[in-house]
Amino acid sequence: MAKKTMSAAAHELFSTLLHARTTALRPPPAAHNSPTVHRCDPPPAARFAGARSTVLVVDVDGSLLLSRSLFPYFMLVALEAGGFLRGLVLLLLYPAISCMIGRGDLTVRAMAAVAFCGLRAGTFRAGRAVLPRWLLEDLAAEALQAALRAGDPARVVWASAMPRVMVEPFLREYLQVPAAAAVAAREMKTMWGFYTGLMEDDGGGGEAMTELRKKAAGGDGDVVGFSAEGSMEFLGCPLASVCKELYVVSQEEKSKWRRLPRREYPKPLVFHDGRLAFLPTPLATVAMFTWLPFCAALSVVRLAVMLALPYRYSTALLAATGMSWRLRGALPPRQSPERSGQLYACNHRTLIDPVYVSIALDRPVRAVSYSLSRVSDLISPIGCTVHLARDRARDGAAMARLLNRGDSVVVCPEGTTCREPYLLRFSPLFAELGGNGGVVPVALAVETSMFYGTTAGGWKGVDPFYYLFNPRMCYTVQFLDRVDTAPVTDGKAASPDVANRVQRMIAAALGYECTMLTRRDKYLMLAGNDGAM
């Protein structure tokens, strides 16, 4: 019985694959009435001013995105959701895939097959946690403004050749596309909870396609398309066939468009996940795979130097390998002998933040953290981290013991890392423990060239190695003016007020923005859990 089920499933998969290939090679159906084509310019605002029933079909890939290739986005899926081996396969197949250009959407289908085949559908989060960051950076300001001229968002259809799981979270979450607006993108087929790598054959229109055909046939409104020259996937799809007018922007005109600045994002990008700190274009991906064998050996050398040598010698040697740091401003004044230990509160960029605070001070510090892998503890050059239990009384008592003993204690009140220029809400517990030494705010900034040393959905045990894999990285440490916490212990000030003051000081020093978002908000968005580990 099991053999028959497997045989039937294999036959269905082969039939679907064969049908998908023939469908991709089949020319698109000809439109009954050829649309009027306007070249060089996007749809003007006057085109929608007096036409309430006009529907705008926006080609997301061709008009909104400045990049002419979808390869980097499929490579992001392959690497972040599948791993390096899957990414290598897609890279090796890229020359053959690039030869399919001009043959309908066969190129997209081929890249989707490699990137998605075998991935578990229920745990796929790259479309929500990884891709939006790169899609936002590739967004053309002029194209987005033109797409928003249609007025009523419900009268805009967002069409993409990419699978729905890749593009819809970006459109809904960050471009604020309402539920009433249609997203015309194809679904990925699944079998037994896994993606087969095959895409649906309906062109991604669904209900949107049916409604557009009614409008085109009934004459109760116009359907206007907005795309770019050379966008074969859109110009050959069924959605374009029902448009009465097509506004096609030339590549020369598109090259003059500007990237949408961060301050103009419809929704701020505060959280994103993934290991890659660069957009994996074909050449950049080749460079990464070429670097991987060398970085594995280099990371071992860097780690050995950090563990074996004092700071004054190790920092010079590490800088020669591309692992540098710099001090901005002056060091804080030394504590008098009769005072207790000193508390340092810093923003959280990577798990080795306390290491660089220790390097800058040139003395040992004790780091406290909510969660840290055993691997990170074992290879830490400043010793084991004091683990907090998320119990206010117990955590406060643990940090108070360290301070009373005279230790320098480093705490990250955000509770989790944030890559973007934002600060999460500071937990006020540290403001109640400064004692007579107060608290010294520390502003940290980190630059990496290839990999992020943090993750929300991946294996945290390899976080320090990903940081050491970078060809070049640099930490910037800045000590700010000490904040007196005596009013909190005397009951004259509230600890949240002092915590917010420290947050604002660090944000001003770095040029970041303060938020009230928390660790829980980050993990709910990126990993689908509350981050309590």
Q: At 223, is the secondary structure helix, strand, or coil?
A: strand
Question: What pLDDT does residue 214 have?
Answer: 56
pLDDT confidence bin for 56, thresholds 50/70/90: confident
Q: End-to-end distance of the chain based on CA atoms, in angstroms?
A: 43
**pLDDT tens, residue by residue, 467-515:** 999 999 999 999 999 999 888 888 888 999 999 999 999 999 999 999 9
Torsion of CA 413, 416, 422, 427, to 10 degrees: -30
What does the alpha-carbon distance between residue 440 and residue 481 come to, in Å, rounded to a whole number? 6
Instruction: Give ranges for CATH 3.40.1130 in the chain.
Output: 282-526
Strand partners, 41: none
pLDDT class for 417, splitting at 50, 70, 90? very high
What residues are paired with 39 via a beta bridge?
Answer: 248
Average the pLDDT over 347-360 and give the result: 92
User: Does residue 277 carry a pLDDT above 50?
Assistant: yes
Written as six digits, the tokens of 370 are 């909510």
Identify the three-state secondary structure at position 465. Answer: helix
pLDDT of residue 82: 94
- What number of other Cβ atoms are within 10 A of residue 387's Cβ? 13
Would you say 141 and 147 are in contact if contact means Cβ atoms under 8 Å apart?
no
Query: Would the pLDDT of 84 be above 50?
Result: yes
Element holding 227 (H helix, E strand): strand 223-228
Residue 304 phi/psi, 5° resolution? -65, -40
Sign of CA dihedral 264, 164, 69, 84: positive
106-113 mean pLDDT? 92
Burial of 434 (0-12, 13-18, 19+ CB in 10 A): buried
Any idea what the Cα angle at residue 244 is, between residues 239 and 245, rounded to 5°? 95
* Half-sphere exposure in the Cβ direction for 232 (13 Å, CA): 15
Task: Confirm if 94 and 174 have CB atoms less than 8 A apart.
Answer: no
pLDDT for 411: 93
**Are the C-beta atoms of residues 138 and 67 closer than 8 Å to each other?**
yes
Q: Which of 28, 38, 24 lies closest to 228 in space, CA to CA? A: 38
Q: Is the whole-model pTM more than 0.85?
A: yes
Please give the pLDDT value at position 134.
96
Per DSSP (E only), the strands in 250-382 are: 323-328, 343-346, 366-369
8 Å CB contact between 425 and 392: no
DSSP per-residue string spanning 325-342:
EEEES-PPPPPPTTS---
| Cβ neighbours around 84 below 10 Å, total | 13
Longest dimension (CA), the chain: 89
Report which secondary-structure segment, H or E, holds 395. Answer: helix 392-404
Residue from 370, 325, 321 nearest 532 by CA: 370
- Please give the residue that has the higher pLDDT: either 320 or 106: 320
CA distances from 124 to 77, 80, 167 (A): 9, 10, 13
The pLDDT score that the predictor gives to residue 232 is 66
Residue 439: count of CB within 10 angstroms of its CB? 26
Q: Give the residue-averaged pLDDT of 457-473.
A: 90
CA-based nearest residue to 127, from 77, 177, 69, 90: 77
Q: What percent of the chain has pLDDT over 90?
A: 48
39 contacts 205 by C-beta, under 8 angstroms: no
pLDDT for 10 equals 46
Highest mean pLDDT (candidates 333-347, 409-423, 429-443)? 409-423
List pLDDT tens digits, range 119-146: 999 999 999 999 999 999 999 999 898 8
Question: What single string gives the DSSP state of each residue in 270-288?
Answer: -----SBSS---HHHHHHH
- Cα-based angle 258, 260, 261 (whole degrees, multiple of 5): 110
**With bands split at pLDDT 50, 70 and 90, how would you rate the model's confidence at 182?**
confident
- 3-state SS, one letter per residue, for 165-178: HHHHHHHHHCCCCC
CA distance 247 to 228: 8
- pLDDT grade for 1, boundaries at 50, 70 and 90: very low
For residue 340 the two structure tokens come to: 């207790």
Does 19 score more than 50 pLDDT?
A: no
Among 30-44, 57-71, 410-424, the minimum mean pLDDT is found in 30-44
Fold held by 282-526: Glycerol-3-phosphate (1)-acyltransferase (3.40.1130)
Query: Alpha-carbon distance 268 to 278, whole Å?
Result: 20
The C-alpha atoms of residue 501 and residue 526 are separated, in whole angstroms, by: 28
Q: Is residue 265 over pLDDT 80?
A: yes
Position 230 scores a pLDDT of 74
pLDDT of residue 205: 55
Q: 26-35, 51-60, 260-269, 337-346: which has the minimum mean pLDDT?
A: 26-35
Average pLDDT score, the chain: 84
Residue 443's DSSP bridge partners are 478
Mean pLDDT check: name the lowest of 32-46, 189-203, 296-310, 408-422. Answer: 32-46
Residue range 181-187: mean pLDDT, rounded: 87
Domain formed by 28-252, architecture:
3-Layer(aba) Sandwich (3.40)
Cα separation, 207 vs 213, in Å, equals 10
Which string of b and e fits 133-143 if b means at least 16 CB within 10 Å? bbbbbbbbebb
CA distance 503 to 505: 5
pLDDT score for 517: 95
Q: Where in the chain is the domain with CATH 3.40.50?
A: 28-252
What average pLDDT score do residues 405-422 get?
92
Could you report the per-residue pLDDT of 155-177, keeping only the tens digit for each? 788 889 899 999 999 999 999 88
- The residue with greater pLDDT, 23 or 52, is 52
Query: Helix-strand-coil percent breakdown of the chain, rounded to 5?
Result: 45, 15, 40
- pLDDT given at position 211: 58
Contact yes or no for 347/414 (Cβ under 8 A): yes
Q: What is the pLDDT of residue 505?
A: 97
Contact (CB, 8 A) for 363 and 448: no
